[in-house]
Amino acid sequence: MIKLGETQELAIYKTVSFGVYLGDEREHVLLPRKEVLEGAKTGESLSVFVYRDSDDRLIATVKTPLVRLGEMAVLKVKQITRIGAFLDWGLDKDLLLPYKEQTEKLHEGQTVPVVLYIDKSDRLAATMHVYRYLTEAPGYEKDRTVEGTVIQINPQMGVFLAVDGRYYGMIPIQEVTQKYAPGDTVHGRVARVREDGKLVIAVREKAWQAMSRDSEKILQLLGANGGRLPYGDKSDPVKIREVFSMSKAEFKRAAGHLLKEGKITVGPYEIKNT
């Protein structure tokens, strides 16, 4: 059976002037002449990807697409039209991302995380609703290092990820110390595996590692600002995050460490070098 949107092994059924047909008498698909290797013979198996051409006919290609059916990839927007955005996925015909499958307003040149699916008209299309295609993560343990792709940002909850391209993951809002955008690659570790199999991801080091780094950052900022900064124990957490790229708790922990070492003094709204 010929499978739309997948790479598969198909045998040459018949040779014609404009290419070769792959499959059998009952079901076959054209591989255009420009993609047929010289000397290819009837019965020879080829590894091809099957999609639809500009006339919605099934067509085979020996090219490798950037995404296959059910997979996630980060693709570049080539064109915005009245029916949606067209994405570069490595094939001659660009991939449609319909407006209804977009989660934000897009612009040409932008890269976006998408999943390849088959729409109601039996055509391949892309969707930015990646989360619905992710699954529970099997065999992941606490502290395992992972790579994730940002698929959505929720200002109240955190940053949602596709971990290793397939599994549910999230960076809790209290862990978020920098700006992210959909399509960004994130490296972190598993902080917790929830009962439902979803992963809670930490992007900062463990507390003792982070404290050393945060302490050094505070000293560097003090040095660059004349030995004084207008931030202390009672400063706004939002301002702390903006200036130091750390949470209020992390700032207080690092400042407290420097205070114990006698390197700074800490007030309600100020820290200074000693």
Q: pLDDT band at residue 209, thresholds of 50, 70 and 90?
A: low
Residue 237 parent element (H or E): helix 237-244
* pLDDT confidence band for 163 (50 / 70 / 90): very high
CATH entry 2.60.260.20 includes domain 7-61: no
Kindly report, residue by residue over 218-259, the tens digit of the pLDDT.
999 999 999 999 999 889 988 888 888 888 888 888 898 899
Which pLDDT value is given to residue 2? 95
Report, as an integer, the average pLDDT of 143-152. 92
Pick 207-273's CATH classification: 2.10.70.10, 3.30.70.330, 1.10.10.10, 1.10.150.530. 1.10.10.10
Least confident of 29-38, 80-89, 99-108, 170-179: 170-179
End-to-end CA distance of the chain: 76
Domain ranges of the chain: 7-61, 72-131, 134-202, 207-273
pLDDT at 213: 82
- Topology alike, domains 7-61 and 72-131: yes
What's the pLDDT at 274? 87
Is 175 in a helix, a strand, or coil?
helix
Q: Which CATH number fits domain 72-131: 3.40.50.800, 2.40.50.140, 2.60.40.10, 1.10.10.10?
A: 2.40.50.140
CATH 3.50.50.60 fits 134-202, yes or no: no
Instruction: Return mean pLDDT, the chain.
Output: 92
Checking if the pLDDT of 207 tops 60, the result is no
pTM: predicted TM-score of the whole model, two decimal places: 0.72
Question: Tens digit of pLDDT for each residue in 189-205?
Answer: 999 999 888 999 988 76
At 139 the three-state DSSP class reads coil
- Rounded alpha-carbon distances, angstroms, from residue 136 to 61, 121, 225, 240: 33, 29, 47, 35
Tokens standing for residue 17: 């002037």
